[in-house]
Amino acid sequence: MQKSDVECQIHVPFFTHFYYTKNIRAKRNLTDIKMWIRYFLGQFRLELKERRLKFCGEKLGISDIKANRYLLRPSKRLLKNARFVIIQQSGLLQQLIGLGLDSERIIIVVHHSFTNNILDLKNKEGKLANIVASSTFTGKILSELGADKLDLIPLGVDIDLYNPTNRTRFDDGNIHIGFYYHPHSRKNPDLVKFLVKYFSSYEEIKFIVHIFGHKFKTDIAPNNLIFHKFLSEIQYSREIANLDVFVFCSNMEGFGLPPLEAMSSGVSVVTSRVGAVSDYMNDSSGIIIDPESSSIIWINAILEVSRHKLIRDQFSVNGRQGAENFSWSQTSNSYLNLMDRLESSR
C-alpha cells in the first residue's frame, strides 16, 4: 500500500493474549484467570527468548513502516485518525468498538473463523461488519455462520523475493526435499515426522531432507538431515528456491502461504487440500492430497515427483505462472478498491 503512496502504520501488541482475553478475565472465573496467566507467561517467554522484545516484522523485512508496540491496548488517539483500521481477529472488533472507534472504518480480515457467534461480527446496532475472507474456504465457513455479505481478497506472495532466480544449487545428484514443520496438531506434525524419517533413510534415491521450523525432535541423526530455524524472510526465500520438492502436510489452514511461496520460487509442491490451496494451485502446477489421506498416498506422490524431472520442470513453470496471479500488489490494490467503495457508500 505504501508503494501506492498510502501511509500505513502497524499496531503490534507485546503480549497478544492480554487484550484478546479481556472478556475472559472480566468473568473472574479462577480457571479462566489461570489460563490467561499461562498465556501471558508463554507470550513473555516468547518475547524474551525468540523476539527479544523486538517487532517480529523485522525478520519479514518490514522496516520502512512505523510499528507502534503497545503493552495492554492500542492507542485510541492514533487509531481514531486512521482512514481505516484493518484487524485480523474477529475478537478485536468488539474491543475496538469499546475503545470508541467507528465500526464503519474497521475491516476484519478472516483467515480462520475464531467465532461461532455471528454477533461477534456485528456492531452495537446489529449491522454486519466489513468482512474480508482470505480464501473461498474461509468465505464458505463465514457464509454458513450467517455472514452473507463479505469480500474475498486472497493473500499474496512477493514474486520478486520468492523467485526461481534465487536458485544456486543445480543437479548435484541428490533430491532436496523440504518439509514445513510446526508442533501444532493442525499442522499434522506426526505425519511430517513419519515422512522425514522415511525419506531420510530411503536408499533408491539420495534425499537431502530440509526441515523448516523449530521444535522438531527426532531420535534419528542422519547426515542428510538439515534444520532451518529462525530464518529471515530473505534467508527463507533463498533456501526454498534451492529445493526440488516442497511438502506441506497441514490438516487445516485459513490460507496456507508456504505452498504458494514455493510455487513462486519455481519449486514442485506436494500439499494437502487446505485453505486457499485449491484457489491458487491445480493439477498442472503441483500435487494436491486430501488431508485425511494415508501416509502411503503421500509417499507415492512425493516419489512420483522426485523420480521424474519432466514433472518437476512442468510444475516449476506452471507453478510460477500461477503464483504471479497472487502477488501482494494485487492484494493491496484489492484493499484500496474496497476502501474506496466503502467510503463512497457511506
Chain segment 20-74, per-residue pLDDT in tens:
555 555 666 666 677 777 777 887 887 787 777 777 777 777 777 778 888 777 8
Q: What are phi and psi of 287, to 5 degrees?
A: -110, 125
Query: Helix 309-323 crosses helix 295-307 at what angle (to 10 degrees)?
Result: 100
> Does 82 lie in the same domain as 43?
yes
Domain tally, the chain? 2
Rounded CA Rg of the chain: 22
What is the phi/psi pair of residue 182, to 5°? Answer: -150, 140
Joined together, the cell numbers standing for residue 52 give: 527479544
Domain coverage including residue 269: 164-325
Q: What is the pTM of this model?
A: 0.88
SS3 at position 87:
strand
Please, which pLDDT band fits residue 130 given cuts at 50, 70 and 90? very high
**CA 156, 160, 162: angle at the middle one, nearest 5?**
70
Q: Are 316 and 332 in the same domain?
A: no
In a shared domain, residues 140 and 186: no
- Pair (150, 80) in one structural domain: yes
Q: Are 132 and 254 in contact (CB under 8 A)?
A: no
Least-confidence region, from 62-66, 135-139, 277-281, 328-332: 62-66
